[in-house]
Amino acid sequence: MNLLQFAREGFVEIREHAGRTLLQTLGVILGVASVVATLGLTSGQDAARQEYYRESGGTRLMGVYNRTPSELTLSARQRSRMGLKLADAEAIRETLPGFDLVVAEISRSHRVRAGRTEMRCRISAIEPEFQRMRKLEMASGRYLSARDMETAAAVVVLGSTRARQLFGTADPVGKPLTIGGVTYTVIGVTKEKVFHFNTRSKYNAHGWMNRLITVPVTTYKKRHLPAGEERIDELNLRLASLDAHTEARQGLERLLLARHGVQDFGIWDRRESIEQGNREGQIYNITFLACGIISLLVGGIVITNIMLASFTTRMRDVGVRKALGATGWQVFVQFLVEALVVTVFGGAIGLGVGIGFTWTISKLLYVKILLTPAMIAAAVGAATVVGLVFGLYPAVRASRLDPVVALRYE
């Protein structure tokens, strides 16, 4: 007999003993379905997060913000040096090659008026590199330039949402806009950025960029801050490469501590946030995958027991086959192939159940899913391994059966 004949006999067993086959494959079906559903849902969410990071500036972003130092008593010199300043941005650019973009930012709230429309908005005084850092595209006009910074030009760029709120459907480029009593000229409007983590959510994770009102930081200092005021609210940074992360961050902390004399700043780090999210996600992955593996193991045990029972009922047939010249190896392969046919059959059903379950969950919760050929191969491969491992013992017992004993069995 060849393997094809053994496989054909395995399908005959499935057809003639449908109830027994269902019991054999139930654990495999549930295990494979659980593995497919877990991998599909978690991979879909991971892909959504990566897409969000990519569209909002990538995974190399880092920032520094002002923070009250933990020391209770500070010297007058330390107090005078506290807080982030524009000079810190220049020092980082000159001494830390681990960062390829450094953008100073001042963020304050002002009354904004365009024609008869007036509202209170947060103004972001930034440097032109912010556009590259956050991957902003222009819908009309242009973005802030180095020339605007040098001349402290009274120009402003609006996000798409702010442009609609202040100017309606009209193109605001070239029109005046009053910020805190100072008149600016609108030079550009950025394209709307939209990202939803699920298909039915109304929350736009990029919505804050559509609400930006940005002016040159030098202009804001000159027109809205007291003379000599050098403090800023935040430093936005981008790593030159992820490989430089540890060295660049340590150098940043050393530089700022040396310049300020006190730990008066905090650092937010997108890479750390991603790693923390991955660690939290792994807990859920491991939990659900463990459930799937347990189901597969239980299914394997059931397969072993039912195959042993099947072997007992077929003992005379095995004895006749061996008496007619079948070798122990041929009997071993026959039983092992039958176990594989049953588990692969159950794995195929489990794969369909898992895909259907994942699709249903995605529709109910409006989340994205991602199923790849590698995931499908892993699930079917797990079922095959179960068939091989748990089919070995019945196959070995059948192959070692004494034909004389088998023919006497009633």
Residue-wise pLDDT tens digits, 245-281: 889 999 999 999 888 888 888 899 888 888 877 777 7
The highest-confidence range among 51-65, 334-348, 394-408, by mean pLDDT, is 51-65
pLDDT, average across residues 47-70: 83
**Residue pLDDT, tens place only, 125-158:** 999 999 999 999 999 999 999 999 999 999 999 9
CB contact set of 311 (below 8 Å; sequence gap of 6+): 318, 335, 394, 397, 398
pLDDT score recorded for residue 299: 77
pLDDT confidence of residue 33: 83
Provide the pLDDT for residue 15. Answer: 66
Report, as an integer, the average pLDDT of 207-230. 92
Structure tokens at 26: 């139930």
Q: Which two tokens stand for residue 230?
A: 């050098």
pLDDT the model gives residue 55 = 82
- Give the orientation angle of helix 270-313 with respect to helix 373-399, to 10 degrees: 30
pLDDT over threshold 60, residue 105: yes
Half-sphere exposure of 41 (CA within 13 A, CB side): 26
pTM of the model: 0.70
Q: Would you state the pLDDT for residue 138?
A: 95
Average pLDDT over residues 298-316: 76
Closest among 117, 120, 219, 255 to 175, alpha carbons compared: 117
- Residue 161 host element (H or E): helix 160-167
pLDDT > 60? residue 410:
no
Q: Looking at 80-84, 292-296, 406-410, which range is the least confident one?
A: 406-410
pLDDT given for residue 74 in this prediction: 56
Q: Diameter of the chain by CA atoms?
A: 108
Cα angle 236, 237, 239; round to 5: 160
Residue ranges of domains in the chain: 3-54+276-408, 68-263
